[in-house]
Amino acid sequence: MTLILASTSTYRRLLLQRLGLEFTVQAPAVDESAQPGESAHTLVQRLAVEKACAVALNNPSAVVIGADQLACLDEQVLGKPGTIANAQRQLAACSAQRVEFLTAVSVCCGAQRCVTVVDRTSVQFRELSQQAIRTYVAREQPLDCAGAFKAEGLGIALFSSIHSDDPTALIGLPLIKLCTLLQQFGIDPLAAGAADAG
């Protein structure tokens, strides 16, 4: 069965490679703008589904994985900063605050079958000085990351605690939840590994 990751994210591709499954990557070309009055939870879930469906439409026999992530500080959604100045502003706003990360993953096959889950990860930021923020942004350049940090790198030093059921979710693809979804489509990374090993 063909497996496709509907994402241009290097982080998600590297995470999916951990499962040892063969897959290809296709860009979903989805407008990620929020709809008027749309909650963060609804938005992240909708985008994961739309990304998977956009690629599944042209690959009806494939199993397609779509994902999206948002960072929320109180009621404010923190997107990808895009610039150094925006990254510094985001991190300054997060200093000594609790930020919730919503990571949705959707698995679709054809136009009819699609299953989706949303992971919630809560991160408590340390109190960050302007110098620490400048140093971090200069070293990591986290301009394409929601919330302006990379938990898999130096970004871990920004936090005093992380509360999560799935440690990979914070990087962009909740692998524990994804494995559960893939099993519904007959894809089991452990079974595939056993077949390869045999």
Catalytic machinery residues: 68
| C-alpha to C-alpha distance for 154 and 152, rounded to whole angstroms | 7
Q: How many CA atoms lie within 13 A of 41 on its CB side?
A: 6
Closest CA to 161 of 121, 108, 106, 197: 121
Closest CA to 118 of 68, 189, 183, 186: 68
Q: Is the CB of residue 109 less than 8 Å from the CB of residue 125?
A: no
Tokens of 83: 């610039």
| C-alpha to C-alpha distance for 19 and 132, rounded to whole angstroms | 35
Please state the φ and ψ torsions of residue 37, each to the nearest 5 degrees. 75, 5
Please state the φ and ψ torsions of residue 31, each to the nearest 5 degrees. -70, 120
